Amino acid sequence: MSYKKTGLVLVSLIVSIVSCEFVYRYIEVLTDRNIEVQLLRYNNCFKKDKDTVFKLKENCSGYSVTDEYQYHTYINSQGFRVSDIDKGYRATIGDRKRILFVGDSFTFGTGVEYRETFSDISGELLGKSYQIINAGVPGWRVGNYHEFYKKYGRNLNPDLVVINICILNDIFPGKEYRAVTDDGYLGSGYKVKYDIGAIHKLHVFMYRKFSLYRLFSRNNMDLSRFMGERTTTPVKPTDFFMNILAVQYYASSAGRKRYAGFFKTMDKFVSTLRNDKVKFMFVFVPYQQQTVASKFLKAPKKKNLQYRINEPQEHINRYCIRKGIKCFDPFASFLDAGNKGKKVFFDIDGHFNVLGNKIMAKEITGAIRDKFSF
């Protein structure tokens, strides 16, 4: 008799699960929540744009998996990355103080869920009286930021524009030009497939095939307990010294021409922002090799090398002082974290991990409170 009851319970459980699976599949179809899973750094959520060259595609969603991370992407009807909850949210609604974050893949939040990006965490720290708009697009640089602001950003009537400059690859004149494939992928190496482990493959298979599993994953954004912690190893000393070669370029005649072109692009952007009488701040985004532990910097010559690796910040700081621009450099906090052995970047990918985004958010929030009054 007990076997019959056990069998009946199991059959009932299986029927219930299958029924729920079909019901939620139907709900996904009705609400257009089907998600394409790609073993890519980014999904096919890009489109061509005559002003910014390329931008995020409206009403796009995806799920990306690499050996270092996995994260969802939701793009709303205005082309901004949002959380799943805010998918249909329009940034122009509301009377809160509006802060527009403009930047590249660091601002976009490559490798982390939206709620783990430094822009969204900044909003949480600032409070409900502030509205945060994440206008980060992977691959953009200052020229693209400027065109975006002229065509789209100023129409949002921001009270403050936070422009995040990636010290590693934003110091170029003009816009970044990347091809966008017909199926929505960004060119120049961004459509890169990754070889992932067996557990990751099982996760991707389950995510593709079963709606209930997708529901579980959405409601448990931090998949690190199941998939392995999203952490990185400290930067290797060899990485630090390899960057000396890159720094030598900044000091060369070619590097000086590059700076000159970059500052001309900055001048145009600053002029537009000032003509609109909007408050703005430039934030320097440090790169991985700058956070090398201080034990590699003890000798005076090595300290000099550390200074030279920070040469981009020094150049831009002098530009900001000369032009009377509010600029902010959170480098000290990242270096302190590196000295303490904390992991703030993905080791291979090089973007902020969750802790890196938290540090960045704390620093930006402090700078906003210190430099601006609303």
Residue 110 lies in a domain: yes
For range 64-92, the mean pLDDT: 78
Has residue 85 got a pLDDT over 70? no
As a whole-number percent, the residues of the chain with pLDDT over 90 amount to 39
- Residue with the larger pLDDT of the pair 350 and 219: 350
The first and second tokens of residue 148, run together, are 């975006």
Please indicate whether residue 222 or residue 354 has the higher confidence score (pLDDT): 354
Average of pLDDT values for 233-248?
44
More confident residue, 293 or 336: 336
3-state secondary structure of 46: strand
> Could you tell me the pLDDT band of residue 238, with boundaries at 50, 70 and 90?
very low
44 lies in some domain: no
Nearest to 134 by CA among 89, 166, 186: 89
Q: Are residues 25 and 120 in the same domain?
A: no
Residues 22 and 126 in one domain: no
Does residue 68 sit in helix, strand or coil? coil
For residues 264 and 150, state if they share a domain. yes
Q: Which one is predicted more confidently, 194 or 72?
A: 72
Q: Can you tell me the distance from the alpha carbon of 132 to that of 151, in angstroms, rounded to the nearest whole number?
A: 19
In terms of pLDDT, which residue wins out, 282 or 11?
Answer: 282
Query: Tokens 């793009």 identify what position?
Result: 75
Q: How far is CA 187 from CA 51, 137, 180, 337, in A?
A: 18, 14, 6, 34
Mean pLDDT lowest among 22-31, 117-126, 173-182, 330-339:
22-31
The H-assigned helical ranges of 210-252 are: 211-219, 224-227, 237-251
Cα–Cα nearest to 61, from 39, 83, 41, 40: 83
In a domain, 41, yes or no: no
- Check if the beta carbon of residue 281 is closer than 8 Å to that of residue 162: yes
Q: Is there a contact between 73 and 133 (Cβ–Cβ < 8 Å)? A: no
151 vs 66, residue with greater confidence: 151
347 and 68 in contact (C-beta within 8 Å)? yes
Range of the domain at 263: 74-175+231-374
Let me know whether 22 and 121 are in one domain.
no
Tally of domains in the chain: 2
Please determine, for residue 311, whether its predicted confidence score (pLDDT) is greater than 60.
Answer: yes
In angstroms, the CA 374 to CA 365 distance is 14
Q: Is residue 137 in a domain?
A: yes
Q: Please, what is the average pLDDT of the chain?
A: 78
Alpha-carbon torsion, ordered 266, 271, 274, 276, to 10 deg:
-110
The verdict on 10 and 125 lying in the same domain is: no
**pTM for the model:** 0.78
The C-alpha atoms of residue 119 and residue 117 are separated, in whole angstroms, by 5
Over residues 218-238, the mean pLDDT reads 36
**What is the pairing mode between strands 279-285 and 46-49?**
unpaired
In this prediction, residues 236-249 reach a mean pLDDT of: 46
Neighbours of 335 (CB within 10 A): 19
Range with the lowest mean pLDDT among 61-65, 149-153, 255-259, 352-356?
255-259
| pLDDT recorded at residue 65 | 80
Helix (H) or strand (E) holding 314: helix 311-323
The answer on 289 and 161 residing in a single domain is yes
Confidence of residue 306 (pLDDT cuts 50, 70, 90): very low
Residues 235 and 110 in one domain: yes
pLDDT for 259: 81
Amino acid at 63: Y
Q: What are residue 66's DSSP bridge partners?
A: none
Rounded average pLDDT over 137-151: 94
Is residue 12 predicted with pLDDT exceeding 90?
A: no
pLDDT of residue 250: 53
**CB neighbourhood size of 249 (10 A):** 10
Q: Are residues 10 and 157 in the same domain?
A: no
For residue 187, being part of any structural domain is answered with no
Claim to verify: residue 151 and residue 248 sit in the same structural domain: yes
The answer to whether residue 348 sits within a structural domain is yes
Confidence of residue 244 (pLDDT cuts 50, 70, 90): very low
pLDDT at 287: 83
At residue 155, what is the residue type?
A: N
Give the contacts of 334 (CB within 8 A, at least 6 positions apart).
286, 290, 291, 344, 356, 359
